[in-house]
Amino acid sequence: MADNELLNSIKQLNNLLMQADSQVPVLHNVVNSFSKITGTVAMVTDNQGVVLAGQINCPDSDGYFKRLLERGSLAGESQIQKLIKKGQPVENEEMLVKRADGGEDKYFCSSQPVKVAGKHKANLLACSFDKPLIDLYTALATVGVGFVGLTYMHDILDQADQKERNKQLAEAAFDSLSYSEVEAIREILKNINKNESVVVASKIADSLGITRSVIVNALRKFESAGIIESRSLGMKGTFIRIKNTHALEIVASRSAEMDIIR
């Protein structure tokens, strides 16, 4: 009977994933589905306690777990952190969470390490309210770890591909600039703070001894390449935000090479 229940739960997990929102990252869909089936707080964290995905489908003591998910980190939460530090399966470890009224709620937390290519990369956590996670769902967590491992690897490869694409776009955008446009972009990026800045083209043009159109063309080329987005602020200038941060590194290194050649 237990085998049939496990099989049915696995089928349910598969069905939920098949119906999952394609706009939501795959890892989040896995965690959401697992949480829904088991009626738990489910989380995937890296080994430093950064929450990569999470979902709540059980009572939440005064929003304790909601705050953890919003913060995106287990930092300072020793009760949960000790589970992931073990790097091995932990089943139904008792955890007490204090409420605002001074009382305590009891949770039972289980952790399964996620290994990729034999290395411990992440953790699947499941916390159930007031009663231990039943054996059926503990077994399902082992299956869920397989899904998490695959999606984790998929996300890592996807990020690597995107990083390479961003570098190539930044290189191509830089190569399209004239010498004066390079000077303009360098001046603009000097004032970047937290990937944002307000550009007053006339001031930059005067300081560099170039025309305003040079600055406008440089910004247009970077925006066409998806490196920045811009918005006119009227007399105040132009607000820009860096979308492809690799451009900052490439502009710095390539323009430094130009300085050496000069």
Q: Are 146 and 112 in contact (CB under 8 A)?
A: no
Bridge partners of residue 240, in order along the sequence? 197, 230
How far is the C-alpha of 53 from the C-alpha of 66, rounded, in Å?
Answer: 12
| pLDDT tens digits for range 77-111 | 888 888 887 778 888 999 999 888 989 999 999 88
Query: 222: closest CA among 203, 247, 239?
Result: 247
Q: For residue 18, what pLDDT is reported? A: 55
Distances (CA, A) of 125 to 88, 135, 193, 213: 12, 15, 37, 55
- Between 153 and 40, the higher pLDDT residue: 40
**What SS3 class is residue 52?**
strand
How far is the C-alpha of 232 from the C-alpha of 200, rounded, in Å?
Answer: 10
| pLDDT tens digits for range 113-150 | 887 767 777 888 889 999 888 776 766 666 666 666 66
Place 183 in a pLDDT band, splitting at 50, 70 and 90.
confident
Domains of the chain by range and CATH? 2-160 (3.30.450.40), 176-261 (1.10.10.10)
How far is the C-alpha of 59 from the C-alpha of 42, rounded, in Å?
Answer: 12
